[in-house]
Structure 1
Amino acid sequence: MTTAATPPLRGVDFTSRPTPRKPVTLAEGRLIGDVLRLERLRALPDEAAFAASLREPGPWLGGFDLPFGLPRELVTALGWPATWHDLIAHYRTLDRAEIRATFAAFCNARPAGAKFAHRACDRPAGSSPSMKWVNPPVAFMLHAGVPALLDAGCTLPGFHAGDPTRTALEAYPGLLARELLGARSYKSDDRARQTPERLLARRDLVDALEQGRTRLGLRLKLTVAQHDTLVADASGDRLDAVLCLVQTAWASRQPRHGWPAQVDGVEGWILTA
């Protein structure tokens, strides 16, 4: 077992419209051996704070809970640019109403049960299609997040070569949460749904991460205060950021960050899928 520390690691629970009440949440940590130590949790209450965090000097490797690409099937059907840089340049010129209308028209023309186009990584990850505009609005998360990463000069492996000391990858906390909890829900932004059952699920999830009971083979090291903070956060935002951090820690030691040998250059890949 290696005991060398990795560069500083980040996990980011993203929202396309951050506010002080619902900020972007950033978890920072460091991996030594097989132990991932959570060093800090930060709330980024607006787009400017998020952009500033991306420009903080490296080295750092971050896993971001937002899609970095669109389904190839969708892009081809719409006649949009077939290379990632040109596609993102086009996508960022659209407003959210245009995105919603375009994607809704695409879905309305398709049969029931096959409304959305999916990326190759969506089904193994269990993630929502990146063209979905509601519950969760991941299409808008891509629209807000990827241009911010590019404007900050970050490197997005497989997509864009920027500053090699500030590297961003696509993470998805639900993948790791389902491995440990199955179908149990552990969070809700709706106060009426913040139940004792979800509190217990968060406690079980945090305990499993601390004990290293995942296929990633890493143990999360928390202080008592950090443990209590993660369990108490009924929205799950802090816990989701930590789940992204764990995925990023695993990826930091994998060839190609754990990506398969063949990945579609428009779609990308989700860590640990």
Structure 2
Amino acid sequence: MRKIAVYLLLTLAALSFLYPFVWMVSASLSSEAGIGSLRLLPVEFTWQNYLTVFDRIPLGRAFLNSVIVVTITTSLVLVLGALVGYALARLEFKGKQLVFFLIIFTMTLPFQITLIPNYITMVRLGWVDTYLALIVPFVMNSFAILLFRQAFMGLPQALIDAARMDGAGELRIIFQILVPNVLPTVVTITILTFMGLWNDALWPLIVIRNEQTMTMPQLVTLFSVGGRADAQLGVKIAAAVMLAVPVILLYLFFQKHFIRSMASSGLKD
């Protein structure tokens, strides 16, 4: 009976999380009059909401911008996070613990605190309305550094010593020997970084004004609150569905690695 009760509670919890998204997809395929029914199946099925979105905003260009920004930034986060994580985990140098504690401290600061200084920096560098403004401020990720450090500390030192005896340099040790052994950590960082960047609308709204450079969440936000949707709820929901689908697909594809890493990434001193 206890096991039945646990599974029943887990099922109810899963349904409570799934229902809003299922309804959102259903509402995006319903007529404007049928949205208020809250049914799980479309009412008066129609593709018009999606066609309206593509007709009113350059969603394809925004999608490409988001893919470019997210791909480059996530790649740099992985590379730089692995380099710094390896240095903090396996190299000895003065001030190592201080550097580590400073990195941990930056994780406690909300992004809004650095918003204005970062914007002033982008203006002085002349990076406003460019991809650089969307990429550079995010390439050093404290959480990625922490996860890589913990993952590398969990690997045996003999693995590194054997590679050095074979003449491998530090970069080869990191990217050809250590990183392949911590793939769950790499997948976790990839998913979390992708999700954070893909869903970010605040920073792009501040540094990007040219519509041809706007990211997908920025353009969808402006579309929903800026008047182009003409108060049509179905059109707004359709835009939100298209924004959410890439993240869901990424998670479904890598969920095993993600769950495994989150379950095994205990923090070590």
TM bucket (normalised to shorter chain) is under 0.3
TM-score of the pair, normalised by structure 2? 0.27
Higher strand share: 1
TM-score of the pair, normalised by structure 1? 0.26
Higher helix share: 2
